[in-house]
Amino acid sequence: MALNPHILIWAREAAGLSVDEAAHALGFKNTQERTAAERLQAMEAGTEEPSRSVLLNMARVYHRSLLVFYLSEPPRTSDRGQDFRRAPGANPTEYDPTLDALIRDIRGRQGIIKDLLDQADPKRVDYVSSVTMDISPVELARRMTVRLGFSLDEFRRQANVPAAFGYLREKVEASGAFVLLLGNLGSHHTNIPSGVFRGYAIADPVAPFIVVNDQDASVAWAFTTLHELTHLWLGTTGVSGGNTDTRIEVYCNSVAGEMLLPEAEMAGLRFLRRASLDETVGAIAQFATSRKISRAMVAYKLLRVDIITQVRWRELDKHYADEWNAAQAQPASKEKKEGGPSYYVVKRHRLGHAVVDLVKNSLAEGFLTYTRASQVLGVKPRNVDPLIYTAGTRGGR
More confident residue, 159 or 397: 159
Alpha helices in 149-246, H assignment, sequence order? 152-157, 161-174, 221-234
Does the pLDDT at position 78 exceed 60? no
Instruction: Classify 201 as helix, strand or coil.
Output: strand
Which of 213, 215, 208, 214 has its CA nearest to residue 231?
208
pLDDT of residue 129: 96
Which of 26, 24, 108, 21 has its CA nearest to residue 59?
26
Write out pLDDT tens, residues 352-374: 999 999 999 999 999 999 989 99
- pLDDT confidence bin for 396, thresholds 50/70/90: very low
- Exposed, middle or buried: residue 339 (CB in 10 Å: 0-12, 13-18, 19+)? exposed
CA distance 62 to 260: 40
For the chain, list the strands marked E by DSSP.
82-83, 178-181, 199-202, 209-212, 238-240
Contact (CB, 8 A) for 192 and 103: no
Domains in the chain, start-ordered, CATH in brackets? 5-70 (1.10.260.40), 107-260 (no CATH), 263-326 (no CATH), 343-388 (no CATH)
Contact (CB, 8 A) for 84 and 242: no
Please give the share of the chain, as a percent, with pLDDT higher than 90.
Answer: 66
pLDDT of residue 327: 83
Give Cα separations from 162 to 155, 159, 171, 292, 395 (angstroms). 11, 8, 14, 9, 22
DSSP 78: P
Q: Report, as an integer, the average pLDDT of 285-299.
A: 95
